[in-house]
Structure 1
Amino acid sequence: MSQVETQAVGYELIETPSANNKVAALWMQNPPVNALSKSVRVGLIEHLNAAIADESVDVIVISSKQNLFSGGADISEFSGGDLEPNLPVVLDVIENSPKPVVAVLNGPAFGGGLEVALSCHYRVTFASNKVGLPEVNLGILPGAGGTQRLPRLAGVQQALDMIVSGRPVAAKKLPGVFDVVVDSPETLLSSALAFCEKVVAEGSKVRKTCDVQIDVSTAPKELFAQYRKGLATQARGFFAPERCIQAVEASVELPFAEGLVREGELFMECMRSKEARAQQHFFFAERAASHVKDFDKETPVRDIKTVGIIGAGTMGGGIAMNFANAGIPVIMLELKQEALDKGLALIRKNYENSAKKGKLTAEQVEDRMALLTGSTEYAALSDVDLVIEAVFEKMSVKQEVFKALDAVCKPGAILASNTSTLDIDEIGEATKRPEDVIGLHFFSPANVMKLLEVVKTSKTSPEVIKTAMKMAKKINKVAVLVGVCFGFVGNRMIEGYGREANRMMLEGGTPEHIDKVIYDFGLPMGPFTMGDMAGQDIGAFVRESRREFIKHDPTYCILADKLVEQGRVGLKAGKGVYLYEAGNRKPIPDPSVLELAKQVAADLGVAQRDISDQEIIERIIFPMINEGALILEEGIAAKSSDIDVIYVYGYGFPVYRGGPMQYADEIGLKTVYDAMCKYRDELGEHGKNWFEPAPLLKKLAEQGKRFADL
């Protein structure tokens, strides 16, 4: 056995079990995810050529020294890295090797990593290993032959599913792709070497994927038409999915070489699209959110072994499920046993529904429920490491809770509030340990939504901040660290969204028109539908708590307030801005709401008129961006990309626009600034009240810069 090491790819000569054959093993070793960086691509070509030239080598194996085969392309190279030799060149060398090349997938293979394996002549892995082509999530498509090779091995339908969805698939479900699938990774190498011996014994056949003929009867025109139809709603607004379909179509309709050319053309179309820029921005934004300046490597982290949750309602129960899912015991506190029993029963029902859908086994349901216990006494929380209150959104109530927690919780326990708007500094003042107080703002439904706003107060210790950020990962949340202000980042920005929608209805816009424009822009639903689903009374409660800040504007959400006064609180009442039929969530326009708007507008002297789609977008989306600029100036958010993560994961802002701040950067901050000035000057008192551009927006627009430049 001999071994040669380079920085990114190792070379080792190994004998097969019978010692009759020599295998050249190329080990990719580019931590942390074996990205196919330039050094890996160069190393693969060099060692492939060396193995081909070495007469003693019978078979070439490509595998990995990391815990995964390869995570794919080095995304950082997309913005100006040295791409030569590019990946297709490497795969061409592999596929055209005169000696058999066997990919031994010792762990997951994604994107370019799977494309490397597809270009090999044989593939070996273990049953539960996951492989996939997730490029669509970056707004692009597999650009190194993946759209041409995967249909030849996996079949056209399977390839479409994998490429268009980007979802990984277990190797055991891909019999056409893998030649050997062993039960466990422990036997992988010995099985792979035995297979290499078999390949030599059978004549060292080189089996090129490009030579495989697709059975066109398995991919009639109707298949693609049906696929597009089924994808219409799911892929709305995205650019890449349709190009993925076109690339797979090319694998059926064109010879391999021409199919590769077509794939390359479609890849470049995607790369040049604003959607790809947005999705790649978001990819990095999500990862950057965990990099904060409030702690360092030396900052200790507290152990979170047991969690207390105050409130067993919808939110408290959802929060509890996150910890139970991660194997962390939870003690739930309610003042009345009836409320506690009801909350635990609802959690069980949620888990059992998941089991019915095949997402959990009956045993897993019981295991998770066993982690959840309840109490009606604060003393039960004396030994928890973290306690999260999820009680009524009122300062006096929350302060009483925190006083009680301060009295019973052990030293070092983290005291967290799930408040969505209230001043956590003020909540912390109710305790003798404000350095241990932090905000953990979960989004509803808390067991589903990925976002967690971690809200630091002026006194929260670095240790508590670091613990909260690490804990978020453990419960599978994307944490974004923010500061204290009304509504923090997400709810502070959304305030203008609802305000302008209500104001435009007063000015003559219809709810269904405004909702349609915002839905077509890419959000899951428009502002009026959202208000009805959440409950118009929730918004009214928040407005009432802020009355002193908005009393200068007599038109402020006045229609929403009047609807609530009439009992029209939304879906739960069968009527809000829209009407709803029993058991049906579909909004039905109600002419009486427009009559009310007309009457109130006349009383307030607001002229009604037609409102264009463009004005709806500018007046609903641009004030959010402007508020984001103020948030950045105030240091409530550390970077604009953090705001984007909050809005994509917390509010359904379309990822193909990258978030509100990336969207502003894409269309140009001068465009946003000019529109803000226009509405400030054209909308009278309303414009003066709400459309004054943020100083940071003005400054960046004048300098021709972006939020991303900060």
Structure 2
Amino acid sequence: NGGKFCGGFDINVFGRIHETGDISLLPDTSTETTCYMEDARKPSVAAIEGLALGGGLELAMLCHARIATPDAKLGLPELTLGVIPGSGGTQRLPRLIGLPSALDVMLSSKPLASVEAKRLGLVDAVVSSAELLKVSRQWAADIAGGSKPWIRSLHRVDKLGSLVEMHGLIQKARENYIRAAKNTPQYLACLGVIEEGIAHGGYHGILKESKVFTELVLTDASRGLVHAFFSQRAASKVPNVSDIGLKPREVRKVAVIGGGLMGSGIATALIVNGVNVILKEISSEHVKKAIHAVKGNVTNLASRKVLTQDKAEKALLRLKGALDYSEFHDVEMVIEAVIENIPLKQKIFSELEKVCPPHCVLASNTSTIDLYTIGENTASQDRIIGAHFFSPAHLMPLLEVVRTEKTSPQVILDLMTLGKKIKKVPVVVGNCTGFAVNRIFYLYGRGANLLVHLGVDLFRIDQVITDFGFPMGPFLLMDLSGYGVTVAVRETMSSSFSDRTFESPLVDLLLKSGRNGKQNGKGCYIYQKGMKPKPDLSVLAIVEECRKLINIMPDGKPISITDSELVEM
């Protein structure tokens, strides 16, 4: 009804449980009740329009058939909240679509489009909204009349494969999550529950599922992830912007200035989400290199099945290189993504004011420079805003929307809306040193550098942070971001907080030795095409030189510190 079959469990209940510790607030959806519906003598068919997520999909899988509209989305996103599906999803989904596909759906938490769901066997037919109820009713009548199969998901075994194959798949999946299991227990728990059903039958599986679900609700992982869920929702509500009746203007064409690591990533994020892009660079060679980088990003997304080949090809048709401003006459937004150089950015913005239409949003991807400084030579302060993406920009979900006191509410709303369109989480922040993320993250990096000077191995620091659950440690991240960004952030933060910073010469020594992280294939790690970054042990000599320049080790000896103490720091 209204494009939403069922979005699942009311997540507000999780919040109340976390506040009170009262697990009895969970709704009583017993195993007996759900199985009674599935085993009933009257056939049921789920007519799915819009969303069937979490408990909504579990409800649909209790039915004997599922009919969906073309725009329907089906999925089990529970793991993103620190729990597992709790109403039979871990048992019924593998029996409907096979274990490999079910593992992918549950562990990734990504919804399936209805056409893909039909291909896998989760959906029986895809029909128009106008035909949905008619077809669903007829399907139920056909089941009752015997002309359509009466399928009870929990009793199916034809898609499961052999026990040896299934245990092998689960073990392989388990290896990907063992390292971070302490802080994200829901992944191994989900695999364990699936395995229980495979070994002892679906009914035993859902009994264990119910027990494990209840246990996970009270974990720190669930508390933190539910908090993040509500924080993300709250971020879209900005006083005097989202509550004053403004409507976002459609952004169909964006110019990106600068095709380096960040600019090519931003361009990628835009074109794969339906936005036409003009990518401007300073020379034909730079344009060629930038477009090649974008093509590489899109190809990588297609190889990882994030995009279909057809969508990847269509995305690249939205990209056009440029050497001048001749194509800027009809752009709705410009995102400047050049190096952190104040005179260069000021020159660009003064030029943009002359060549872009008067309604065009003028955004800078700066991570460190005051926006007033960038736009001080223009008369368009109300159109200037920060659009701070994070590297790699086509993958990282966060987008800092940086407002000044002069930025108009319409411009803020337009950038927030575009951010959501390209699948980012826009967070509005003030125009201050480091904005929000770098202001916090700078201390994380400084702490890691301080530990190196105290004698802790930098590769150990990265490993400990990865074991904790982060996708990478601070030094690998520094490599991927590029040392220029590190230097620029350091200079900005040091000038604002000179009495509160610890400055290591490590990045300067790395640059002096010809290293620049992933950009030139050499940093703290070695980068080779098609291979994971490998620690470069030769960098330890540079670390020793760094420690000699600033020697703060007590009595000249490395400190003794446990892994848990490193994490707490």
TM-score, normalization by structure 2: 0.85
Alpha-carbon spacing, 1:289–1:610, altered in 2? closer, same or farther (3 Å): same
- In 2, distance between residues paired with 1:537 and 1:450? 22
Matches within 5 A, 1:173-572: 173-175=119-121, 180-182=124-126, 186-202=130-146, 208-209=152-153, 212=155, 214=157, 218-220=161-163, 223-234=166-177, 236-237=179-180, 238-254=184-200, 257-295=203-241, 296-352=243-299, 354=301, 364=311, 367-378=314-325, 380-544=327-491, 548-549=495-496, 556-572=503-519
- In 2, distance between residues paired with 1:158 and 1:146? 13
- In 1, distance between residues paired with 2:389 and 2:275? 17
- In 2, distance between residues paired with 1:142 and 1:580? 39
Alpha-carbon spacing, 1:503–1:267, altered in 2? closer, same or farther (3 Å): same
- In 2, distance between residues paired with 1:69 and 1:220? 35
Shift of 1:375: 3.7
* Deviations 1:70-123, CA, capped at 9 Å, x for gaps: 221111123348655537575355235443323333444222112212223444
Structure 2 counterpart of 1:73? 9
- In 2, distance between residues paired with 1:520 and 1:588? 20
- In 2, distance between residues paired with 1:498 and 1:425? 27
Shift of 1:431: 1.1
The code of the aligned residue for 2:223 comes to R
- In 1, distance between residues paired with 2:160 and 2:324? 68
SS at match of 2:359: coil
Verify: 1:618 aligned to 2:565, yes or no.
no
Shift of 1:595: 3.4
* Deviations 1:132-175, CA, capped at 9 Å, x for gaps: 32212211112122233334444455544443443434332343
Alpha-carbon spacing, 1:344–1:608, altered in 2? closer, same or farther (3 Å): same
Q: Contact 1:579–1:589 at 8 Å: present in 2 too?
A: no
Of 131-140 and 550-559, deviating more is 550-559
Alpha-carbon spacing, 1:88–1:127, altered in 2? closer, same or farther (3 Å): farther
Q: Contact 1:216–1:252 at 8 Å: present in 2 too?
A: no
Verify: 1:144 aligned to 2:114, yes or no.
no
Q: Contact 2:256–2:336 at 8 Å: present in 1 too?
A: yes
* Deviations 1:329-360, CA, capped at 9 Å, x for gaps: 33333343443344334434544555566665
Alpha-carbon spacing, 1:611–1:570, altered in 2? closer, same or farther (3 Å): farther
- In 1, distance between residues paired with 2:8 and 2:175? 28
Alpha-carbon spacing, 1:522–1:122, altered in 2? closer, same or farther (3 Å): closer
SS at match of 2:74: strand
Alpha-carbon spacing, 1:93–1:380, altered in 2? closer, same or farther (3 Å): same
- In 2, distance between residues paired with 1:510 and 1:140? 35
Gaps of 5+ in 2: 18-24
Shift of 1:605: 8.4
Shift of 1:587: 0.9
Matches within 5 A, 1:599-614: 599-602=548-551, 607-612=556-561, 613-614=563-564
Alpha-carbon spacing, 1:132–1:508, altered in 2? closer, same or farther (3 Å): same
- In 2, distance between residues paired with 1:262 and 1:111? 18
Alpha-carbon spacing, 1:138–1:400, altered in 2? closer, same or farther (3 Å): same
SS at match of 1:378: coil
Alpha-carbon spacing, 1:516–1:157, altered in 2? closer, same or farther (3 Å): closer
Of 219-228 and 501-510, deviating more is 219-228
Q: Contact 1:224–1:245 at 8 Å: present in 2 too?
A: no
Q: Contact 1:128–1:172 at 8 Å: present in 2 too?
A: no
- In 2, distance between residues paired with 1:574 and 1:205? 58
Q: Contact 2:333–2:361 at 8 Å: present in 1 too?
A: yes
1:101 pairs with 36, 44, 59, which one? 44
Of 395-404 and 139-148, deviating more is 139-148
Shift of 1:601: 4.4
Of 412-421 and 152-161, deviating more is 152-161
- In 2, distance between residues paired with 1:515 and 1:143? 35
SS at match of 2:251: coil
Alpha-carbon spacing, 1:389–1:610, altered in 2? closer, same or farther (3 Å): same
Shift of 1:129: 4.9
Q: Contact 1:508–1:608 at 8 Å: present in 2 too?
A: yes
Structure 2 counterpart of 1:114? 57
* Deviations 1:205-234, CA, capped at 9 Å, x for gaps: 976555x26479835256335423333235
- In 2, distance between residues paired with 1:247 and 1:276? 18
Alpha-carbon spacing, 1:140–1:607, altered in 2? closer, same or farther (3 Å): same
Shift of 1:430: 1.9
- In 2, distance between residues paired with 1:115 and 1:583? 39
- In 2, distance between residues paired with 1:317 and 1:264? 46
Shift of 1:496: 1.6
The code of the aligned residue for 1:315 comes to M
The code of the aligned residue for 1:266 comes to V
The code of the aligned residue for 2:487 comes to A
Q: Contact 1:151–1:214 at 8 Å: present in 2 too?
A: no
TM-score, normalization by structure 1: 0.69
1:588 pairs with 533, 536, 556, which one? 536
SS at match of 2:404: coil
- In 1, distance between residues paired with 2:452 and 2:9? 48
**Between the two proteins, what is the percent identity of the paired residues?**
37
The code of the aligned residue for 1:509 comes to V
SS at match of 1:189: helix
Alpha-carbon spacing, 1:540–1:79, altered in 2? closer, same or farther (3 Å): closer
- In 2, distance between residues paired with 1:410 and 1:133? 44
Structure 2 counterpart of 1:662? none
Shift of 1:520: 1.7
RMSD: 3.5
Say how many residue pairs are matched.
552
Alpha-carbon spacing, 1:490–1:444, altered in 2? closer, same or farther (3 Å): same
Of 67-76 and 309-318, deviating more is 309-318
- In 1, distance between residues paired with 2:218 and 2:387? 38
Of 293-302 and 468-477, deviating more is 293-302
